[in-house]
């Protein structure tokens, strides 16, 4: 779980691209322009949670390499071509990219049921925590740039948050699973 968290933390750096979706209206720790410590902590937490839940559900499953470039780069390139003609916000572009990667994973991965179930559990945990924060802190609600949202809400929370958390979990566990053998080899070489 710790390795999943450590690998997930740098994904918080992507926050610099979300200026058209989210602009925090609360006290935050800014590292550089539009990059906040909270974003790195969020991705650290979700990375570990996704790996932890998936690992529990997929016990006995033999890991396979998912070729992370199929999951991340190819869908990103395809949807990048659509961002300008469709006038999408970066969040919508990212969700479409993640959905393409998730469809690929769920189509070919032998542990697709475990991945899907772990994504549902991750989404439920994320949204439960997020809902408490959402309803306890009006400044979080004010942080969203509503003109760039889909306009669909569940319990007042933008649908994008539900989609992002679930798709992240579908994608992250197999990517971790693909990288883990390399990390294990590196650790075992150091211990010799």
Per-residue pLDDT of 4-38, as tens digits, reads 777 777 676 666 666 667 777 777 777 777 777 88
pTM: 0.79
Question: Whose CA is closest to 153, among 136, 169, 134?
Answer: 134
CA 61 to chain centre: 23
Would you kindly state where each structural domain of the chain is located, as residue ranges? Answer: 2-191
**Is it the case that residue 73 has pLDDT exceeding 60?**
yes
Residue 96 has pLDDT above 80, yes or no: yes
User: Residue 148 above 70 pLDDT?
Assistant: no
Q: What is the pLDDT of residues 160-192, one digit of tens each?
A: 888 988 998 998 888 887 777 776 665 445 444
Element (H, E) at 35: strand 35-36
Say how many CA atoms lie within 13 Å of 172 toward its Cβ: 33
CB atoms within 10 A of CB 133: 12
| Phi then psi dihedrals of residue 68, to 5 deg | -50, -25
Q: Where are the alpha helices (DSSP H) in 58-143?
A: 68-86, 90-108, 112-136, 138-141
């Amino acid at each position: 779980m710790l390795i999943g968290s450590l690998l997930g933390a740098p994904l918080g750096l992507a926050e610099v691209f979300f200026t058209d979706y989210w602009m925090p209206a609360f006290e935050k720790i800014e590292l550089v322009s539009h990059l906040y410590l909270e974003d790195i902590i969020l991705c650290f937490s979700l990375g570990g949670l996704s790996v932890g839940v998936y690992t529990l559900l997929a016990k006995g499953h033999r890991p396979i390499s998912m070729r992370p470039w199929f999951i991340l780069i190819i869908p990103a390139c395809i949807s990048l071509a659509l961002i300008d003609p469709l006038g999408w916000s970066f969040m919508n572009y990212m969700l479409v990219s993640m959905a393409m990667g998730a469809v690929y994973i769920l189509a070919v991965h032998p542990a697709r049921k475990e991945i899907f179930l772990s994504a549902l559990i991750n989404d439920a945990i994320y949204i439960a925590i997020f809902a408490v924060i959402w309803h306890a802190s009006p400044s979080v609600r004010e942080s969203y740039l509503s003109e760039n949202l889909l306009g669909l809400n569940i319990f007042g929370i933008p649908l994008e948050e539900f989609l992002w958390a679930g798709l992240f979990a579908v994608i992250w566990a197999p990517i971790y699973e693909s990288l883990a053998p390399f990390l294990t080899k590196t650790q075992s070489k150091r211990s010799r």
